[in-house]
């Protein structure tokens, strides 16, 4: 099973790319959704985070605004928070990988916004970076409700520059040329990924291959890959 790392800066169209990958039959792990799930009421991170910062919990869930205020007030909060939350999220990711392997998925994608920033690309066979010109990115982001130029500058300051991401990518997926060009780019990148050997799954080369659960392989007519 090949593991694709899917990433891109804010406003670059990464979510659209993830949607197209699902359309093409590629299982996609959404890192942002995983964090939201563990922060929600009953989520696995609520208890451990609340034990350290009880003021960050409200109505049985993590209050993200309260947590952001704590992070802004004390630089030691974020590293400690990450040491608590990252292992929890990582376990969800491992379950996703295992289930995809059991279904004999030939390729999966890990949708991780801070893929390079967290070193997660080291667990991937190939990396797709979704990109667009800076003026397109800025227009998209500033069109969002409650977004300001100041907020955008703060977010971009925390992310690796787009040019560096593109330089480190195996495939750059343009998102500003229309949906058809984006879909075609993803199809080509998937084909080339499938042509290369899997280097990260199974994690133990001696592991016996899992039993199939009947998932259709990529390339089946219903995925649209036959018509590329």
Domains located in the chain, CATH noted: 1-27+106-228 (3.40.50.300), 33-102 (3.40.50.300)
Q: Residue 82 and residue 40: Cα distance in Å, rounded? A: 17
> What is the per-residue pLDDT for 146?
87
Could you give the dihedral angle defined by the CA atoms of residues 224, 114, 126 and 14, in that order, rounded to the nearest 10 degrees?
Answer: 20
Q: Look-up: residue for tokens 């030691």?
A: 76
> What is the per-residue pLDDT for 204?
63
> What is the per-residue pLDDT for 43?
95
> What is the per-residue pLDDT for 211?
39
> What is the per-residue pLDDT for 177?
95
- Name the β-bridge partners of 128: 6, 171
pLDDT, tens digit only, all 228 positions of the chain: 999 999 999 999 999 999 999 999 999 999 999 999 999 999 999 999 999 999 999 999 999 999 989 988 898 998 999 899 999 999 999 999 999 999 999 999 999 999 999 899 999 999 999 999 999 999 999 999 989 999 899 889 888 999 999 999 999 999 999 999 999 999 999 999 999 999 998 876 544 444 333 333 333 333 333 333
**How remote is the C-alpha of 222 from its chain's centroid?**
25
Other CB atoms within 10 A of residue 128 CB: 28
Could you give the dihedral angle defined by the CA atoms of residues 42, 44, 50 and 53, in that order, rounded to the nearest 10 degrees?
Answer: -140
> What is the per-residue pLDDT for 213?
34
> What is the per-residue pLDDT for 174?
96
């Amino acid at each position: 099973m090949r593991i694709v790392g899917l990433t891109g800066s804010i406003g670059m169209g990464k979510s659209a790319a993830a949607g197209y990958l699902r359309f093409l039959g590629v299982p996609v792990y959404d890192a942002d959704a995983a964090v939201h799930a563990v922060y929600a009421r009953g989520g696995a991170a609520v208890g451990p985070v609340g034990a350290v910062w009880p003021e960050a919990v409200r109505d049985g869930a993590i209050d993200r605004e309260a947590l952001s205020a704590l992070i802004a007030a004390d630089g030691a909060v974020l590293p400690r928070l990450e040491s608590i939350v990252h292992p929890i999220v990582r376990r969800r990711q491992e379950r996703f990988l295992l289930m995809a392997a059991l279904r004999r998925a030939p390729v999966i994608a890990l949708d991780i916004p801070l893929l390079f920033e967290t070193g997660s690309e080291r667990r991937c066979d190939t990396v797709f970076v979704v990109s667009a010109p800076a003026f397109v990115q800025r227009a998209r982001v500033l069109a969002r409700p409650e977004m300001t130029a100041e907020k955008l500058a703060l977010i971009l300051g925390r992310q690796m520059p787009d040019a560096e991401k593109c330089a480190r990518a195996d495939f750059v997926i343009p998102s500003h040329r229309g949906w058809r060009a984006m879909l075609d780019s993803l199809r080509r990148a998937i084909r080339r990924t499938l042509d290369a050997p899997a280097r990260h799954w199974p994690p133990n080369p001696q592991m016996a291959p899992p039993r199939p659960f009947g998932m259709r392989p990529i390339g089946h007519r219903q995925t649209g890959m036959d018509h590329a």
